[in-house]
């Protein structure tokens, strides 16, 4: 049984006439008659009664017709899926992200991607920058939004999407809470909550470099992985922390964010997009294109966040 035979059954059932069906199928009548007869022989049933006035479907033919319609529908779905898969309109996209990407950038990109490509199955996973890079390199993620800069060597191509700067987070009852800005030197006696040395090594290294630039040896009270955790520990009164300014609109009433003045040269940070160019799927390419367009259009992705 071949798909062309099922299509012939559909057309013949509509016309109930070999001559007219052959014309619609753009073939001669004898080959059509031969093809239908061979199909009947293969199935072991008669599909059409040959009458002086034309053709009539047999009960077996009615059943075959229903299933032929279903089969041709799914064949067309396969063809459509192949076309949309090649264009990135269908398929699977595995996206990794760090927690700080959720403050402004990621929700906007995902909302736009969902709207533009509803046929793509999106799987998102949160992790650390170092783990996301490993997942990109072993092809278990297509693209990732991670912290920038990345100091470790990587095969991934990195594109800075959202430049940012670090600010000081202090508790609402801190002596510095009413200030607009503060220097690291002024915070030298405060206990610090910093990024984990092992799980977030780049941010840890940048923070330590900023302390060295300020000429201070900080008292490290606690290490944490996610920005949300740092802010929660600050609100608990365990110390002060350096966090991205992008966290401004997501800081609770128990935390104040202060500009760093002078701003440490080492603390120029942001959110970057990571991918392996040679391994990009059509859906991943579409995501990257949309991400760049979103950044260009949305003022929330600009580096200047107001802390007032």
The residue among 72, 87, 102 that closes a domain is 87
Query: Based on the domain organization, do 69 and 102 belong to the same domain?
Result: no
Residue 133's φ and ψ, nearest 5 degrees, are: -65, -40
Q: 278-296 pLDDT, tens per residue?
A: 888 889 999 999 999 998 8
The confidence score (pLDDT) of residue 81 equals: 67
Query: Which residues neighbour 164 within 8 Å (Cβ) at sequence distance 6 or greater?
Result: 244, 245, 246, 269, 270, 271, 303, 305
Query: Which residues neighbour 227 within 8 Å (Cβ) at sequence distance 6 or greater?
Result: 99, 100, 103, 243, 244, 247
Higher pLDDT, 307 or 262: 262
Query: Based on the domain organization, do 157 and 130 belong to the same domain?
Result: yes
Three-state DSSP state, 97: strand
Model confidence at 300: pLDDT above 70:
no
Query: Based on the domain organization, do 289 and 149 belong to the same domain?
Result: yes
Which CATH number belongs to the domain containing residue 40 in this structure? 1.10.10.10
Query: Based on the domain organization, do 114 and 35 belong to the same domain?
Result: no
Query: Based on the domain organization, do 63 and 177 belong to the same domain?
Result: no
Three-state DSSP state, 170: strand
Query: Based on the domain organization, do 76 and 125 belong to the same domain?
Result: no
Rounded to whole angstroms, the Cα distance separating 209 from 30 reads 85
Q: 110-143 pLDDT, tens per residue?
A: 999 999 999 899 999 999 999 999 999 999 999 9
Query: Based on the domain organization, do 124 and 215 belong to the same domain?
Result: yes
Q: 35-88 pLDDT, tens per residue?
A: 999 999 999 999 999 998 889 999 999 999 999 988 887 888 777 767 766 667
Q: 176-226 pLDDT, tens per residue?
A: 999 999 999 999 999 999 999 999 998 999 999 999 999 999 999 999 999
Which residue, chain included where needed, has tokens 């600010």?
Answer: 167
Query: Based on the domain organization, do 179 and 150 belong to the same domain?
Result: yes
Query: Based on the domain organization, do 69 and 103 belong to the same domain?
Result: no
Three-state DSSP state, 177: coil
Answer yes or no: are the C-beta atoms of 146 and 200 closer than 8 Å: no
Domain that holds residue 162: 91-308
Rounded to whole angstroms, the Cα distance separating 234 from 193 reads 8
Three-state DSSP state, 31: helix
The residue among 28, 55, 87 that closes a domain is 87
Answer yes or no: are the C-beta atoms of 125 and 96 closer than 8 Å: yes
What's the domain count of the chain? 2
The whole-model pTM stands at 0.66
Query: Based on the domain organization, do 138 and 45 belong to the same domain?
Result: no
Answer yes or no: are the C-beta atoms of 297 and 183 closer than 8 Å: no
């Amino acid at each position: 049984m071949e798909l062309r035979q099922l299509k012939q059954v559909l057309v013949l059932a509509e016309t109930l006439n070999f001559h007219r069906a052959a014309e619609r199928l753009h073939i001669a009548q004898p080959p059509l008659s031969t093809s239908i007869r061979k199909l009947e022989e293969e199935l072991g049933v008669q599909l059409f009664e040959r009458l002086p006035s034309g053709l009539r479907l047999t009960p077996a033919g009615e059943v075959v017709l229903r299933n032929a319609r279903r089969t041709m529908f799914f064949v067309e779905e396969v063809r459509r899926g192949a076309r949309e898969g090649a264009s990135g309109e269908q398929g699977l996209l595995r996206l990794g992200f760090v927690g700080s990407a959720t403050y402004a950038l990621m929700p906007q990109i995902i909302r736009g991607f969902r709207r533009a490509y509803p046929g793509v199955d999106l799987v998102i996973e949160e992790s650390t920058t170092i783990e996301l890079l490993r997942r990109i390199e072993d092809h278990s993620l297509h693209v990732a939004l991670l912290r920038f800069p990345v100091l470790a060597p990587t095969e991934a191509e990195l594109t800075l999407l959202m430049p940012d700067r670090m600010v000081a987070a202090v508790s609402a009852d801190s002596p510095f809470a009413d200030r607009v800005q503060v220097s690291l030197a002024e915070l030298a006696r405060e206990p610090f909550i910093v990024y984990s040395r092992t799980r977030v090594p780049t941010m840890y290294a940048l923070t330590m470099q900023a302390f060295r630039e300020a000429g201070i040896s900080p008292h490290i009270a606690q290490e944490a992985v996610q920005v949300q955790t740092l802010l929660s520990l600050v609100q608990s009164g365990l110390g002060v922390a350096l966090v991205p300014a992008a966290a401004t609109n997501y800081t609770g009433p128990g935390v104040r964010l202060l500009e760093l003045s002078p701003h440490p040269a080492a603390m120029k940070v942001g959110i970057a997009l990571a991918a392996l160019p040679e391994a990009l799927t059509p859906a991943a390419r579409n995501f990257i294109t949309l991400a760049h367009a979103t950044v260009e259009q949305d003022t929330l992705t600009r580096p200047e966040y107001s802390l007032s």
